[in-house]
Amino acid sequence: MRPLPRVFLLPLLSLLLAACRDEQAGPRPRTPGTSGASAQIKTLGAAPADLTFRSGASLGGGALIYLGSRVSPVQPSAGQRVQLSHYFQAVRQPPEGFSLFVHLVDPGSGQMVANADHEFQNGAAPMASWPVGQVVEDVHTVQMPPVPVRVMLGFWRGDERLAVDDPRAQDGANRLLGPELGIAPELPEYKVQRVSKPPVLDGVLDDAAWKEATPVVLRGSFDGRSVSLRTEARMLYDEANLYVAFDVEDPDVWGTLRTRDAPIYEQEVVEVFLDANADGKTYNELQVSPHNVIFDAYFPARRQGMDLSWDSGMKTAVKVRGTLDDPADRDEGWTVEMQIPFARLAEVPRVPPQKGDRWRFNLYRLEHLGRRGVEGQAFSPLFIGDFHALPRFGWLTFD
């Protein structure tokens, strides 16, 4: 199955990776003399009445109760500082050695967007010191990511997490369900035009049909920012096929894989993901490399059951403006044309699509900058490092 997920060399993700460890872990214990153990534990007689998220879930066989959290501001915008206050109560003497973790995750996939792990009350209130019957409060701030996230929290010790007693209050990995933050940005739409005379598949985008197609420039897949090397895409359709073209700026065009369905996504590649019935489950993935090697796969569900025996019937053509596989010179880039038969795609509602039909889709490019760091580009930015983030696919409307 295709590896989970690739890391893209973009500023925000680089910052997160530099600041965070594996999400199964948490903050490293403070060294002696650096904790806030001498500070007074902040306790309350009861949780505030204005909680924005209420839970009541118990942990550790009823030892602790997560009462809920308060979010301020309640509807934060991207980039805004958000104050999160979490409230717990010890019903009996808490276990020793557990530390707090806080994850901001993509609500659809559970994938971590940001790690907000820290010590409870800045180290002043280790769990074992919580007074039984009192409410303890932890307050911290996070920067609101560009997309909605769910707060997941709990306690860890070594390689284990403190068990959450009710399965409905957690994600299956002993992460408590906390508040949701943010409003989803609007998904982009591409209106694909129908043509009577399809383009000639030669890798050269000089056909009259392509000149009439709407161009779109791909953006950073992780944050929607402008990218270092331009990629322009266009789409068309006729009675039998969907046509996709990419015009890729690339000073070093290369690739070592030559076999169909090889993992060309680990090198330089352009990609199309199509969810024809827009169910957020079944979809097709189609890719082309600069050597005109193709990869096509069918998925019955997100990242599950990848079927490489599926044959898209896709025809492609590539034109390189430069010298393939020669890092000594400077290339201009490469262009790709893809002809994708509707009849081979998964669960197409109508063949051919009719005016007004709407699919979910995304277009991607992976560029290995200097053959080292990877830059991901997308038509609809994902804001997480996963091209299979189906809820963030854009809309393809047949005109």
Task: Give the phi and the psi of residue 336 in degrees, each rounded to 5.
Answer: -135, 140
pLDDT band at 39 (very low <50, low <70, confident <90, very high): low
- The per-residue pLDDT for 109 is 83
Residues 354 and 391 in one domain: yes
| Residue 3 confidence (pLDDT) | 39
Q: Is 199 helix (H, G, I), strand (E, B) or coil?
A: coil
15 is a domain residue = no
| pLDDT above 60 (res 12) | no
pLDDT in tens, 267-277: 999 999 999 99
Which residues are within 8 A (CB) of 50 and not within 5 positions of it... i.e. 6 or more apart?
70
* Residue 160 shares a structural domain with residue 249: no
Is there a domain that residue 37 lies in?
no
Please tell me the distance from the alpha carbon of residue 152 to that of residue 142, in angstroms, as a whole number. Answer: 13
Average pLDDT (96-104) is 97
Q: What pLDDT score does 30 carry?
A: 38
Confidence category of residue 371, pLDDT binned at 50, 70, 90: confident
Per-residue pLDDT, averaged over 124-139, amounts to: 96
The predicted structure's pLDDT at residue 345? 98
63 shares a domain with 135: yes
- The answer to whether residue 125 sits within a structural domain is yes
pLDDT at res. 186: 87
Nearest Cα neighbor of 383 from 217, 185, 190, 230 is 185
| pLDDT value, residue 7 | 36
Q: Please identify, among 165, 181, 197, the residue that sits at the C-terminal boundary of a domain.
A: 181
Domain final residue, candidates 159, 181, 203 = 181
Give the ranges where 56-180 is alpha helix by DSSP (H): none
Domain of residue 112: give its range.
43-181
Regarding whether 267 and 394 lie in a shared domain, the answer is yes
In the DSSP assignment, the letter for residue 248 is: E
How many Cβ atoms sit within 10 Å of the Cβ of residue 324?
A: 14
Q: Could you tell me where the DSSP H helices lie in 140-237?
A: 208-212
- The CATH number covering residue 148 comes to 2.60.40
Whether 335 and 219 share a structural domain = yes
Same domain? 157 vs 251: no
Mean pLDDT taken over the chain: 90
Domain of 283, CATH number, reads 2.60.40.1190
> In this model, does residue 8 exceed pLDDT 60?
no
Structural domain contains residue 86: yes
The domain boundary residue, chosen from 155, 181, 207: 181
Where on the phi/psi map is residue 383: left (φ > 0), alpha (ψ -120 to 50), or beta?
left
163 and 246: one domain? no
pLDDT of residue 354: 96
Task: Pick 106 or 316 by higher pLDDT.
Answer: 316
> Residue range 132-154: average pLDDT?
95
**Residue 130 and residue 76 share a domain:** yes
Question: Residue 16 belongs to what H/E stretch?
Answer: helix 11-19
Percentage of residues in the chain having pLDDT higher than 90: 81
At residue 223 the predicted structure's pLDDT band, cuts being 50, 70 and 90, is confident
Whether 32 has a pLDDT exceeding 70, the answer reads no
- The b/e string for 167-201 (b: 16+ C-beta within 10 A; e otherwise) is eebbbeebbbbbbebbeeeeebebebeebeebbee
Work out how many domains the chain is built from and give that number: 2
In a domain, 154, yes or no: yes
Residue 33 lies in a domain: no
In a domain, 267, yes or no: yes
- pLDDT at position 129 over 70: yes
E-strand stretches of 269-383: 269-275, 283-288, 294-299, 315-321, 333-341, 358-369, 373-378
User: 287 falls in which pLDDT band (50, 70, 90)?
Assistant: very high
The rounded distance, in Å, linking the Cα atoms of 289 and 257 is 9
Residue 392 lies in a domain: yes
Question: What are the φ and ψ backbone dihedral angles of 285, each rounded to 5 degrees?
Answer: -120, 125
193 shares a domain with 166: no
Shared domain for 133 and 56, answered yes or no, is yes
- The per-residue pLDDT for 222 is 86
pLDDT (mean) for 351-374: 93
Q: Apex CA 152: angle with CA 148 and CA 155, to 5°?
A: 160
| 257 and 130 within one domain | no
- What local confidence, expressed as pLDDT, does residue 28 receive? 38
Residues 247 and 169 in one domain: no
